[in-house]
Amino acid sequence: MADFFFADDYRLDQSPTREFYDTFLKGLVHKHNNLMGVIQGFSSLILYDESISEEVRDSAQQMQDSSKMASALNQEVLVSAGCSRCDDGSASVGDLMTFWKDKAGEICQVAGVGLQVTPRDGLPRVNGDGGKLSEIFFHLVRNAAEAAAEVSGGSVAIDLFPPGEASPGENVDLFVRNTSVTMTEEAVKKAFEPFHTSKGSEHFGLGLTTASVLSGQMGMRLGLRHADGTTTAWLAMPQEG
């Protein structure tokens, strides 16, 4: 049985220069978005002209689509770089699961894979930001669904356990499992690296990076392993108190 590889290296420190890089990156993204807005605006004007050739129209459409994707990438970069604030507080994962289950169903339906969700009863509240916790969950499910789609008859399974049932200690444990092509230990380790993806250029390769950074900001621990044709993501969430 393969061991989990944990994304502990993606916990951001609080060094004196952290605030500088946070401000720098936000400013850079803002400037970049301004440029993308100009490109989107001019490409839209070109597309409104019905007299242009199909070649020009295709080029203008590609410019507009690329600029929109670049703006979406900017938002992903801010979160994965730790520039998105996680509020203090607690969240009820039991209550969130109703919303999570519906969203996971949509993600898996789009990917064309099966889904099984098995939350346990009596789950305690956990320390963390409910909105950011949902972001982590959706990144994990999306990554699992896309990977499962690469396998014939692929599926995703989600389990949520109260403290002490799946692991020792006081954590609420979330497991997201998917059928998967074979992954080496090195490939599992690289999965958390920013912009690393095996799914093509249409993917940013920031999903698991973002999930790991948000986990670290909330004092949670995110691990990944591959064994016997199954890849498993494990999120350990400290219970409230």
Establish if 66 belongs to a structural domain.
Answer: yes
Q: Which residue has the tokens 């998105």?
A: 84
| Order of strands across the sheet that contains 221-227 | 5-6, 221-227, 230-238, 171-179, 155-161, 114-119
Residues 110 and 68 in one domain: no
Examine the pLDDT at 14 and tell me if it is beyond 80: no
What's the structural domain count of the chain?
2
Query: Is there a single domain that holds both residue 41 and residue 149?
Result: no
Regarding whether 70 and 112 lie in a shared domain, the answer is no
Residue 85 inside a domain? The answer is no
DSSP state of 84: S
CA–CA separation, 57 and 146 (whole Å): 32
Q: Which of 11-15, 100-104, 144-148, 174-178 has the lowest mean pLDDT?
A: 11-15
Give the per-residue pLDDT at 83: 84
Q: First CA to last CA across the chain, in angstroms? A: 33
Least confident of 63-77, 142-156, 191-205, 226-240: 191-205
Domain that holds residue 71: 18-80
Residue-averaged pLDDT of the chain: 90
Half-sphere exposure of 221 (CA within 13 A, CB side): 14
Which of these, 199, 219, 222, 200, lies nearest to 209 by C-alpha position?
Answer: 222
* The predicted structure's pLDDT at residue 200: 59
Assigned domain for 42 exists? yes
**How do residues 150-197 score in pLDDT, each as one tens digit?**
999 999 999 999 999 999 999 999 999 999 999 998 989 888 888 877
Say yes or no to pLDDT of 204 above 80.
no
125 and 221 both lie in a single domain: yes
pLDDT digits (tens, 9 = 90+) for 53-98: 999 999 999 999 999 988 888 888 888 888 878 888 899 998 999 8
**Is pLDDT of 1 > 60?**
no
State which of 61, 80, 99 marks the end of a domain.
80
- For residue 167, give Cα distances in angstroms to 96, 162, 163, 180: 22, 9, 7, 24
CA 156 to the chain's CA centroid: 16
For residue 194, the model assigns a pLDDT of: 84
Q: What is the pTM of this model?
A: 0.84
